[in-house]
Amino acid sequence: MATLLCHIEINSGRELEFEAVMKEMYRRTHAEEPNCVRYEYYRGAQPGKYYSLLSFTDSGAFWEHQASDYHEGFDFAGMIKSLDMEWVDPVAEASPLIETVAVEPADTASDLTKSAAQTYRIEVQSWWQKYR
């Protein structure tokens, strides 16, 4: 599985636009991606701060999501001030998700998926092994 927590800061005045885009991304992801386990957005305590929890059955499903055509046509660069993508590992018996695993894309993966795999490298922390 691949689970990711995104820390997002939106440029002031672009919050409503960002939320509208995320609603569309949420709708399409859940409707079109059977290997999506979690894909959710949250407002944070500070103005313009958001969080997103994404979890896919495997890394290939995550990379295919990133390469999907519905990521196109939005002004993400204009909306997003900063984005920190943090790979997380669910705690067994305290989360319904399974551990995050890093693998290479399949040889049969599309060029877009392989490119997404290079851009969005999955980072499994060595200290997680102690608790698995």
Q: What are the tens digits of pLDDT across the range 66-116?
A: 999 888 889 999 999 999 999 999 999 999 998 999 999 999 999 999 999
Q: Are 100 and 129 in contact (CB under 8 A)?
A: no
CATH number of residue 105's parent domain? 3.30.70.100
Note down the domain range covering 111. 2-131
Residue 101: what pLDDT? 94
What is the Cα–Cα distance from 103 to 81, expressed in whole angstroms? 30
Q: Kindly report the pTM of this predicted structure.
A: 0.90
Tally Cβ neighbours within 10 Å of residue 52: 19
Q: How many domains does the chain have?
A: 1
